[in-house]
């Protein structure tokens, strides 16, 4: 028996911010955990692949589309409990992420303000462990409620079990495809001070101590200038966000690369992989050896791909070299061609393999 709201042959380009790709063979809106279970069970009973769609902001869909079930989460609701020491916000996986952050900031909860302006849904935050300007969602997450699609049970995972790392988690690696996030609980600091760990924000406020709301507004403005904020008539926003992760290099690797680049009179920018306050947090230690982030955008531009570089109907954003944008009518094949050209050039010139951030659907 088909789920009640099941649709067929739904174009997925319209469901993504990049705007490329074919249709989903089946498509289902699920607004309750029960509907999620029903949809997944229906697909599994027919040996169909299935995919959970959030806001479509970190997704590249193949031109051939997806031959299985795309299930879009619509689980809503935000609640909170404040004991004076921390405030716990619980949000449905289908809640818009930026609207949720706005809610926490308006309440006075510190811990997510620098993640303002990131498109997508609450349910995608733990999977990707979204991060920006010195904050990561994984540090604020207390627990997640999820559906185990292998057993059909609804479970709760505490933060430690989620294996959060730089732009990754258990749900993106070892347990990829097994769990569906239903709700997320965040532990924030009531009436806390904003995080000003990154130079962009320090420069913006020039020594002033802003409020949480002022910090949120600043982050959104900085993202807008870089084309990383969804704005109605800005063609540079028709992207999947940052297309490549910033590479992490060990100290020895960085020193060797600096020596190689010295002959070209280049000095590669880098910064610690964790802001100082995070590096001191024993519960949030990454690899034992210190690592340094190298800006992927710098590598891309130095490899010969300037802002606005165009290939067919796709291009790099005119505001930020880290975003591949659809200039209108582009295909997924064109996106992949530009991605491959950038990766090949950076690998050849710097010996660094750039790792894409978006999810690629239908390319298997």
What would the pLDDT profile of 187-208 be if each residue is shown by its tens digit? 999 999 999 988 899 999 998 9
Higher-confidence residue of 237 and 68: namely 68
Tell me whether residue 357 is one of the annotated catalytic residues: yes
Tell me whether residue 167 is one of the annotated catalytic residues: yes
Taking residues 271-276, what's their average pLDDT? 65
Taking residues 250-264, what's their average pLDDT? 90
**Percent of the chain whose predicted confidence (pLDDT) is above 90:** 79
CA distances from 143 to 19, 42, 160, 167 (A): 33, 28, 9, 18
Q: Is the pLDDT confidence value at 276 over 60?
A: no
Residues 6+ apart with CB under 8 A from 34: none
Specify the range with the lowest mean pLDDT, choosing from 109-118, 188-197, 277-286, 307-316: 277-286
CB of 294 within 8 A of CB of 270?
yes
- Give 235-361's CATH code, choosing from 3.90.78.10, 2.60.40.10, 3.30.70.980, 3.60.15.10: 3.90.78.10
Place of tokens 């993504």: 16
Q: Is the pLDDT confidence value at 288 over 90?
A: no
One of 116, 169, 242, 270 is an active-site residue; which one? 242
CB environment 139-154: b (16+ within 10 A), e (fewer): bbbebbbbbebeeeeb
**pLDDT of amino acid 186:** 98
Strands annotated E in the chain? 7-11, 23-30, 50-53, 59-61, 66-73, 78-82, 87-92, 109-110, 131-132, 135-136, 141-148, 154-158, 179-190, 248-250, 271-272, 291-293, 310-311, 314-316, 324-326, 359-361
**pLDDT of amino acid 233:** 76
Higher-confidence residue of 269 and 339: namely 339
**pLDDT of amino acid 229:** 85
Q: What is the pLDDT of residues 21-38, one digit of tens each?
A: 999 999 999 999 999 999
**pLDDT of amino acid 284:** 42
Q: Is the pLDDT confidence value at 146 over 80?
A: yes
**Percent of the chain whose predicted confidence (pLDDT) is above 70:** 95
Q: Give residue 133's pLDDT band: very low, low, confident or very high (50, 70, 90).
A: very high
One of 35, 136, 334, 357 is an active-site residue; which one? 357
Q: Where are the domains of the chain?
A: 7-73, 78-225, 235-361
> What is the Cα–Cα distance from 276 to 127, expressed in whole angstroms?
24
Q: Is the pLDDT confidence value at 287 over 80?
A: no
Q: What is the pLDDT of residues 73-105, one digit of tens each?
A: 999 999 999 998 999 999 999 999 999 999 999
**pLDDT of amino acid 207:** 84
**pLDDT of amino acid 281:** 47
Same fold, 78-225 and 235-361: no
**CATH number belonging to domain 78-225:** 3.30.465.10
Q: Is the pLDDT confidence value at 46 over 90?
A: yes
pTM reported for the whole predicted model: 0.86
- Give 7-73's CATH code, choosing from 3.40.50.2300, 3.40.50.970, 3.40.980.10, 3.30.43.10: 3.30.43.10
One of 25, 44, 167, 178 is an active-site residue; which one? 167
């Amino acid at each position: 028996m088909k789920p009640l709201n099941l649709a067929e042959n739904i174009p997925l380009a319209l469901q993504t911010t990049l705007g490329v790709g074919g249709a989903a063979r089946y498509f289902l809106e699920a607004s309750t955990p029960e509907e999620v279970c029903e949809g997944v069970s229906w697909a599994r009973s027919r040996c169909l692949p299935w995919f959970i769609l959030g806001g479509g902001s970190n997704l590249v869909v193949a031109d051939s589309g997806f031959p299985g079930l795309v299930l879009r989460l619509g689980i809503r609701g935000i609640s909170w409990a404040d004991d004076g020491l921390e405030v716990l916000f619980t949000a449905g996986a289908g809640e818009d992420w930026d609207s949720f952050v706005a809610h926490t900031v308006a309440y006075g909860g510190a811990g997510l303000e620098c993640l303002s302006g990131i498109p997508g849904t609450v349910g995608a935050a733990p999977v990707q462990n979204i991060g920006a300007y010195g904050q990561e969602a994984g540090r604020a997450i207390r627990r997640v409620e999820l559906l185990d699609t292998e057993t059909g049970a609804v479970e709760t995972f505490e933060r430690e079990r989620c294996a959060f790392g730089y732009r990754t988690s258990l749900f993106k690696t070892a347990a990829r495809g097994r769990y569906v996030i239903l709700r997320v609980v965040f532990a924030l600091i009531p009436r806390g001070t904003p995080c000003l760990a990154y130079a962009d924000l320090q420069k913006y406020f020039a020594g002033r101590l802003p409020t949480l709301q002022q910090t949120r507004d600043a982050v959104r403005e900085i993202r807008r200038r870089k084309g990383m904020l969804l704005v109605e008539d800005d063609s540079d926003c028709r992207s999947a966000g940052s297309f490549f992760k910033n590479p992490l290099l060990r100290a020895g690797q960085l020193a060797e690369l600096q020596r190689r680049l010295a002959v070209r009179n280049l000095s590669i920018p880098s910064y610690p992989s964790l802001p100082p306050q995070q590096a001191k947090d024993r519960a949030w230690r990454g690899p034992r050896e210190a690592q340094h982030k190298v800006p992927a955008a710098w590598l891309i531009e130095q490899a010969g791909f300037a802002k606005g570089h165009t290939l067919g109907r796709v291009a790099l954003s005119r505001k930020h070299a880290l975003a591949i944008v659809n200039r209108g009518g582009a295909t997924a094949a064109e996106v992949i061609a530009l991605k491959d050209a950038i990766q090949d050039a950076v690998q050849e010139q710097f010996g660094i393999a750039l790792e894409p951030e978006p999810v690629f659907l239908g390319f298997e």
